[in-house]
Structure 1
Amino acid sequence: MKKLLLLCLTALFCFACSDSKTLTVTVTNPLSTDRSGEMVELSMAEVSNRLKLADTTQIVVLNVEGEQVPYQITYDDKLIFPATVAANATATYTIQPGTPEDIEVKACGRQYPERLDDVAWENDLVAFRAYGPALQARGERGFGYDLFTKYNTTEPVLESFYEKELNQDVRANIAELRKTDPKAASELGNSISYHIDHGYGMDCYAVGPTLGAGVAALMVNDSILYPWCYKTQEVLDNGPLRFTVRLEFPAMNVKGDTTVVETRLITLDAGSHLNKTAVSYSNLKETLPVVTGIVLHEPDGAVVADAANGYMTYVDPTTGPDNGKIFMGAAFPAAVKEAKTVLFPAEEKKQRNNADGHVLAVSDYEPGADYVYYWGFAWDKADIKTAEAWNQYMADFAQKVRHPLTVSI
């Protein structure tokens, strides 16, 4: 009898140990389309509690075939990993103690004080930058987001881009050579410039004093309150799968109130063409319209402005010869009041470096809330080749953010 009781207790102990050392995660797709490589989140604190993990215990995430899935623990204590789920279906993943395999860095960035305080970031598909206080100190009106096209690699390229562009020795040689051989100086300059495609992408996008590639801004009496460059920055996540930066802006004047401060939390995940951005305005006293804008460089350019389905797109002609087309886009998880093209009057067009206007999505900003939206691009020399394919990507993306994957453990 004692032996039987001992065996039962042992079996129960082993079952308890086994149960506490694995955790099943169920990811559900409510849409009738397949979803692949989409980042999901769950609380790392809950994972640790469920698995009774020691502080030093490592974990692995496994798919249904038992293969490791890359993951990251974010600044706000979330466990994130890319999930693949069929239409109207579920997929299961297992989390358990183990030694994770090395993970390729696919999302990263930093501030570049050596280039007028740019904050620049990228993932395996796209790259971006926001202008900083050193640029503003020079009086340059860099309001909008800029972007770098990227192709032929999934590895980070921005460090190389900036290193070549800012090479002081080469710059000194160019200046000296310009005195005797301007053509050779120009060729040498082109050899290091990130405005020239050297096989991995380039900066061929014009921003100027506009909302650029998707900045959000308040409106007062139908006038956009253009934000200037950020004041402070803090990188919160720096890969391997997610980059997150918090930007705070100088106080702005909103209807005579000079204490309103904008904060942006920008997140870019591996495998996505779009950044998630949460914008808030502290000290704002009343509800105001907020617009998300993409600058237009052709007055009759190809625009889709679909407020009902929560997205807008624009085909940008790019700067310079033979640089292809850039497909711009923004998507909105909440309802959009209006989406439309607004062209600049002739005088304002001159003030905005001859840009033609914006495609705008109009919503309301409630004081104390976050205005959340997604913005980004694709390039016809990279993975998305046509405007039709991009419009479908954006339509699908808008549906995904309005009907997110759900996670249960």
Structure 2
Amino acid sequence: MRKTLLAVAAFSTALLVGCGNSESVTVTISNPLDMERTGEMVEVPVDDIYEQLNLADTAQFVIYDEKAQEVPYQLTYDDKVVFPVSIASNASVNYTIQQGTPGIVNTVVYGRYYPERLDDIAWENDRAAYRAYGPALQRSGEKAYGYDVFTKNTEDLVVEDRYAMELDSMAWVQINALRDAGKKEAADSLVRTISYHVDHGNGMDCYAVGPTLGGGTSALMPDSTIVYPYCYKDYEILDNGPLRFTVKLVFNPLVVKNDSNVIETRIIQLDKGSQLNKTTVTYDYLTQTTPVAAGLVLHAANPKGYTYDASAGYIAYADPTTEPHSDNGVVYVGAVFPEAVQTRVQLFNKPVGDALGHVLGVCDYEAGNEFVYYWGSGWSKYGFSKADDWNKYLKDYAQKVRNPLTVSIQK
């Protein structure tokens, strides 16, 4: 099927009336919760739309809300139509779909592979940005197992520019020349002007991962011992905006008790407006039920800054950043679980650098199944003024994934 990125603009009622001769289908979306849900992404099988409208799979269509405004949407790799909806508590809302040419929307979710930076995969939406480390980093010997977090305080896409600044070859020629000439202070000053570890007005990389699970990575835990996945081996970007980014990561074989060839695969998905990445994890060639955890690293500058609530379905941590006494704010990290988990703190036998251990959400993984959870971050300089704000966001998010919107489609 054709995978075209489609979306949006504001279309008038007159335009909708002008298209009134076309057949249409109605998508009814219901919210079972006693909370308003704004900008939440829903999925509809695209084949259902084509079938109901009797369209060829090369035809285009338009989605309208109840105010006759055009709604942005995207066709995804797995043959879904995804679009944002807003619904009051305990309410339903109708969206109309009919044949037509959609408007164009600016891409607000984007990611790519960065071979120029040790094979990073980095991606972002209008709320946050993330990174997974790749094979070149592993070959370097650096130990970095978990997801990294880039803070941001703008809806604009910023990661591409950050990498371009950080890796500016002409600037590095000057920096190295200054160092060779013994002018360390001048070299360091120039580094600060290009580094993504410095906030140039839209956020920065001020989160420490190291040999930990970082900002929400999953790992098997036989006998309560974390089997750390290293950097990904292979990748495939499946969706790349405008509303959803999806990447598939496959990892090198792991030894897990009696199984010596366990292959981990992750499907990571980030939607417009969400602080959290939906992640689906599978382990091929794992023959026995094994605990699996998602974890957040705890740092020495805030050893008690974690929260966990198994019944509410989330874990959280207020990370003090790589320079706790600077003006970098607080990086809030968290994970949300659709299914029941056990939650706890597990400390290292001795600190690893300034890392003390993890706050974990743990459940049993059965061979052949999927482990689905959500992980991500917020920043004290972009919508989360205190830890209570972040914890409420996670608690509400868990309610939403445990009580999904219901979708029906009919002519």
| Normalised-by-shorter TM-score class | over 0.9
- Residue 334 of structure 1 corresponds to 339
Question: What SS does the aligned partner of 1:398 have?
Answer: helix
Structure 1 Cα separation of the partners of residues 115 and 157 of structure 2: 19
- Provide structure 1 residue ranges, at least 5 long, that are not aligned to the other structure: 1-16
8 Å CA contact 1:20, 1:52 repeated in 2: no
- Residue 115 of structure 1 corresponds to 117
- Residue 393 of structure 1 corresponds to 393
Q: With structure 2 as the length reference, what TM-score do the two structures score? A: 0.92
Per-residue deviation, 1:304: 1.2
Cα deviation code 1:384-405 (max 9, x no counterpart): 2111111111110000000001
8 Å CA contact 1:217, 1:226 repeated in 2: yes
Cα deviation code 1:35-93 (max 9, x no counterpart): 00000001001101111113432111100000011100000110000010000000110
1:93 aligns with 2:67: no
1:316 aligns with 2:319: yes
Question: What SS does the aligned partner of 2:317 have?
Answer: strand
- Residue 200 of structure 2 corresponds to 198
Runs of 4+ in 1 over 6 A off after TM superposition: 17-20
- How does 1:53-64 map onto structure 2 within 5 Å? 53-64=55-66
Structure 1 Cα separation of the partners of residues 50 and 56 of structure 2: 8
**Alignment length (residue pairs):** 387
User: What is the one-letter code of the residue matched to 1:327?
Assistant: Y
1:141 aligns with 2:147: no
Closer, same or farther: CA 19–398 of 1 in aligned 2, 3 Å = farther
1:84 aligns with 2:86: yes
8 Å CA contact 1:58, 1:99 repeated in 2: yes
Cα deviation code 1:211-258 (max 9, x no counterpart): 000001001111110000000000000000000000000011111322
Per-residue deviation, 1:19: 8.9
Q: Greater Rg, structure 1 or structure 2?
A: 1
Structure 1 Cα separation of the partners of residues 29 and 120 of structure 2: 37
- How does 1:147-186 map onto structure 2 within 5 Å? 147-151=149-153, 153-178=154-179, 179-186=181-188
8 Å CA contact 1:209, 1:353 repeated in 2: no
- Between stretches 238-247 and 98-107, larger displacement belongs to 98-107
- Residue 7 of structure 1 corresponds to none
User: What is the one-letter code of the residue matched to 1:172?
Assistant: V
- Residue 3 of structure 1 corresponds to none
Give me the CA root mean square deviation: 1.3
- Residue 247 of structure 2 corresponds to 245
Structure 1 Cα separation of the partners of residues 363 and 124 of structure 2: 28
Structure 1 Cα separation of the partners of residues 360 and 282 of structure 2: 19
8 Å CA contact 2:338, 2:402 repeated in 1: yes
Structure 2 Cα separation of the partners of residues 142 and 183 of structure 1: 29
- Provide structure 2 residue ranges, at least 5 long, that are not aligned to the other structure: 1-18
8 Å CA contact 1:326, 1:379 repeated in 2: yes
8 Å CA contact 1:316, 1:326 repeated in 2: yes
> Which of 292, 300, 305 in structure 2 is aligned with 1:302?
305
Question: What SS does the aligned partner of 2:187 have?
Answer: helix
Q: With structure 1 as the length reference, what TM-score do the two structures score? A: 0.93
Percent identity for Structure 1 against Structure 2 = 53
Cα deviation code 1:125-175 (max 9, x no counterpart): 100000000010111111000010001x21211110001101111101100
8 Å CA contact 2:22, 2:99 repeated in 1: no
Cα deviation code 1:168-220 (max 9, x no counterpart): 11101100012242111111110000000000110000000000000010011
